[in-house]
Amino acid sequence: ESTHWFVNAVGGLKTSLSPHELLSLLLKIEKKFGRKRDQTSTTHQDRTLDLDLLLYDERIMTTEDLILPHPEMHKRLFVLGPLAEIAPAAVHPTTGKTVAELREVLADGVKNDEIKRLKWSQKA
């Protein structure tokens, strides 16, 4: 549990990159923003940027460095809330449920979780 303020967001994209190539690009972006990964840590760490690959079409895969779909996404309202806004009908390939359905299951048990829509600047 972090004491620092942070924002959770999701985005979608079209790419010709393979899942591993996309993951490599995401890790390079994190590093450019100052992310330092401690592979020995067993707890969550504060980070400057955390980019996760949640879904890649309906692909299911498990390799040493990548699991698709993301193994924890269906348990996290802070992921499913914003994802349901942009892709409610997307199907989680291992559960067979839509993102909207998964979100509803988690939202039923949450009373004080606040999700706000932020407007992002178009300026570079």
Residue 62 clears pLDDT 90, i.e. is over it:
yes
Percentage, residues of the chain above pLDDT 70:
74
Domain ranges of the chain: 70-111
Q: Residues with catalytic annotation?
A: 35, 47, 50, 52
Compute the distance between CA of residue 97 and CA of residue 4 in angstroms, rounded to an integer. 33
If you write DSSP's letter for every residue of the chain in order, what string do you get?
A: --SS-----------SS-HHHHHHHHHHHHHHTT----TT--S----S-------STT--EE-SS-EES-TTGGG-HHHHHHHHHH-TTPBPTTT--BHHHHHHHHHTT-SS------PPP---
pLDDT of residue 124: 46
Surface-to-core class of residue 40, CB atoms within 10 Å of its CB (0-12 exposed, 13-18 middle, 19+ buried): exposed
Mean pLDDT of 106-122: 64
pLDDT digits (tens, 9 = 90+) for 70-103: 999 999 998 999 999 999 999 999 999 999 999 9
